A and B are shown apart, each in its own frame.
Chain A
Amino acid sequence: MIKLEELAGQCGEWLRGSGPDSDIVVSSRIRLARNLADFTFMRKCTGLDRASIERTLRERLGRIEQWDSVSFIDVNGLDEVDRQFLVERQLISRELADADGSRGVLVDANEQFSVMVNEEDHLRIQVMNSGLDLMGAWQRINQIDDLIERHVTYAFHERLGYLTACPTNVGTGMRVSVMLHMPALVLTRHLERVFRSLQRISLAVRGLYGEGSQAMGDFYQISNQITLGKSEEELIAQVSEVAQTLIEYERKARNFLVENGLKELHDRVSRAYGLLCTAQTISSEETMALLSSVRMGVNLGLIRDVEIPTVNKLFIHTQPAHLQKIRGTSLSTADRNIERAHYLQRHLGRRTHDESTENN
């Protein structure tokens, strides 16, 4: 059984900041919606049905030999901070956290995949890879789906494919998402124009991270909108193509900033870094915005004291539930802001570290 406290200390594989184009693409994610043939969909499930689905899946998926490092987390039994913690880590959705009744998530030890139980569909399988690696994610999730399928019977329709609670997911039941970090496009105010130029494909684009602004840290997620009538590979190719285009635009914008205002850019990222290293109390929003600048600074070679995996980790670990799990106690907003500042100081820059040992 995974202890959430142990999870808090470690870092998901998808944050390691490697993989193709990982200076811009944080992660590639695929999720599959699946339902069991012998139960009604969630909307028409009684509490008893929900419990029965959970029990059936735990028992059957527990038989998968290749899954010895997979544990089940009973989300219904968790308190709010723990549920929020799993959301921040992107292991479960907001919906699953906020729902009622029997529900949970199967998680592998490296956090490379998770299987939500009793979300909008009976099963929501998810794989996350670092960088732009959708084909890798597809191969993995396809295997996982095959393994699960040996132990359960899916609701499937000859002509309509995998049947889902919402007709928007019917067919492949697949949502392919790429999370991109595009600070230069935001800074040069080109983002909207770029999105607009991508109109020919049916894609959803949205900002990321609940707690804030562009303080979403300039992260944007693109994903396919349709799920029927195209093969999984075709859907992946579409999203990949758009991701490639966005990467190209972001690179151009970064080059533009370097060529036309290196001093200003260097100043901006250095100030951001300095603030993060020295602040005594700091909000989540400000942290996100500053980390975004630092992340770009590291990728452009303007900041050399810190590495991308550390920055990626800080985006997640400075969120409210993580701070509280790491600290091991619940904290008010004001206390969290102090804790966040301390956490940042501990993880960034030697200079501050030396100062803090002097103080001790």
Chain B
Amino acid sequence: MKCDHCDKQATFHITERVGEQEHWEERHLCESCARDYLSKPSEADIQSSLASALAQHLKIGQTADELAKLDKKTCPMCGISFFEFRSHGRLGCPHDYVCFEPQLMPLIENIHGEKTHTGKRPRRYAKGLDQQTQLIRLRKEMQRAVQKEDYERASQLRDEIRELEDEA
């Protein structure tokens, strides 16, 4: 049998679960391709299944125009665009779960088959994402103050952050 990736003889046969579907993939690889493949972190596989789930979902739900418009949508907190998220599969900040919610929720349901967390909860956490967003905003402002060497403002902001965190 030939290697899936090149013309050499396949000596490694790997079977693995791919994605959320009841789907197994067999890979037949030569030694050097197998080494490349296996040194790839497992999260990368999950990543590629994420990308394909996303592509599939967008293809069904959106026209090209809608997609182009959607791609330009950006998070006001971290500035990530939907296009950037869908090309890299990583979100920019907690607020993205809110501002991209209409697109993310079907994707999350597709990946996990569920949409509600039922596990552990931290004893304290920022009440509502507003408060979290606020924290990130204050933290950024504080950094800018430090850069401008406005230490008075910076320490003021630090106190505000502490207060918010204590409230949580």
Contact = CB atoms under 8 A, between A and B. Distances in A.
The reply to whether chain A is a binding partner of chain B is: yes
Interface of A: 35, 37-44, 48-49, 52, 93-95, 120, 142, 145-146, 149, 153-163, 165-168, 170-172, 174, 191-192, 195-196, 199-200, 202-214, 216, 221, 223, 225-232, 235, 285
B126 A230 contact: no
A196 B97 contact: no
B112 A165 contact: no
Interface residues of B, number: 67
A153 B115 contact: no
Contacts of A158: 128
A52 B136 CA distance: 13
Given A153-B125, A213-B11, A231-B118, A38 B90 contact: no
Main secondary structure of the interface of B (DSSP, over half): mixed
B46 interface: yes
24 contacts: A35-B94, A38-B136, A38-B161, A41-B94, A44-B80, A48-B143, A52-B139, A149-B124, A154-B122, A163-B97, A167-B104, A170-B112, A170-B117, A191-B15, A196-B24, A206-B38, A206-B42, A208-B38, A212-B38, A213-B31, A213-B34, A216-B38, A221-B42, A223-B42
B17 A230 contact: no
Contact of A205 (B17, B38, B47, B125): B17
Contacts of B138: 38
A93 B116 CA distance: 29
Complex A-B, nearest 6 residue pairs according to Cβ-Cβ distance, in ascending order: A229-B114, A161-B117, A38-B135, A44-B92, A228-B112, A156-B125
Contacts of B65: none
B72 interface: no
A229 B91 contact: no
Pick from B15, B45, B47, B138 the residue with the most CB of A within 10 Å.
B15
Contacts of B34: 213
Pick from B45, B122, B125, B139 the residue with the most CB of A within 10 Å.
B122
B71 interface: no
Contact of B77 (A35, A40, A166): A40
B39 A142 contact: no
A170 B97 CA distance: 10
A157 B97 CA distance: 9
B88 A229 contact: no
Given A38-B135, A142-B120, A162-B117, 17 more contacts: A37-B125, A37-B131, A38-B138, A120-B90, A153-B124, A154-B125, A157-B129, A160-B97, A160-B108, A163-B94, A166-B90, A167-B104, A192-B15, A212-B38, A213-B11, A228-B114, A228-B117
